[in-house]
Amino acid sequence: MRYRAPPAEALLTAGLDAFTAVFHRPSGITHLLASPAPEILTVLADEPLDLDALLARLADRFDLADADRAALAARLDELMVAGLVEAA
């Protein structure tokens, strides 16, 4: 399964200390995101990716302290429940 995030223009973001406040235009819902959720959305905004490709892409851009596939899947589940990520 591949994951799709909304295009950048669908989100308004505001950094608030350690968090990112996100207004999701299609839903009108505000979310407060903690890392790594904003980073996942940024990477997926370019193109839909499956779990392994996403993990690789994140590893390209960041020093992953725990390149944990299950942890990433759990984060994606949270984003899907919130409607910020959907199955492509």
Partner 1 sequence: MADALTLARALADPQSLTLDTDWIGLITTARAEQLLGTLAYRLDGLPLPEDVALLLADARTAAENGRRAALWEAEMARRALAPLGCAVVLLKGTAFVAGGLSAGRGRSIGDLDILVPRDALDAVEAALLAAGWEWVKPDPYDDAYYRRWMHELPPLIHRERDRMIDVHHTILPLTARIRPDAPALLVDAQPLGNGLSLLSPDDMAVHAAAHLFADGDLAGGLRNLWDIHCLIGEHGDDGLAARARHHGLAREMARALRLSRRLFGTPPPVEAPGWSDRLYLRRLLARDDWGRPIRPLTRLVFYIRSHWLRMPPAMLARHLWTKWRRG
Partner 2 sequence: MNDATPTDGQDEAQAGDDSVSTRRRVLMLGAVTAGAVVSIRPALAQTAGSVMNCQIPVPDLGRAGRFIDPAGNVVAPGTKGAFPPAARPFKGEEVKRALAGGQLPGTTYDSNRAYVSYIRRLQRGQGGFTCFASLQMPRA
Partner 3 sequence: MRHVFSVRIGPIGFRVGSDWREPIDQLRELYRYYPSPNLPDFTVRLEATRPWRRLVRPSIRIAGDYTLPEAAPLPLAQGLLAAEMAMNLQLALGGRRHLLLHASCVERDGRALLMTGESGAGKSTLATLLAAKGWRFMGDEFALIDPETGLVHAFPRLISLKNAGIAAAMAAQPDARFGPLLAGTPKGDIRHMVPDGLAVGAMDEPARPVLLLFPRYGHAAETLPVRGSEAFVRLTQASTNYVAMGEAGFATLTRLVRTVPAQAIDYPDGAAAVAQVEALWRTL
Residues 43-72 close enough to bind partner 2 by CB under 8 A: 58, 61-68, 70-72
Q: Is the bond preceding residue 36 a cis peptide, omega within 30 degrees? A: yes
Helix (H, G, I), strand (E, B) or coil at 33: strand
Q: Identify the bridge partners of residue 30 per DSSP, sorted by sequence position.
A: 23
Residues 29-58 close enough to bind partner 3 by CB under 8 A: 29-30, 32
Which of partner 2, partner 1, partner 3, none interacts with 12 (beta carbon under 5 to 8 A by kind)? Answer: partner 3
Q: Judged by CB, which is closer to partner 2: 9, or 63?
A: 63
**Half-sphere exposure at residue 76, Cβ-oriented, CA atoms within 13 angstroms:** 23
Contact positions vs partner 1 (CB under 8 A): 25-29, 81-83, 86-87
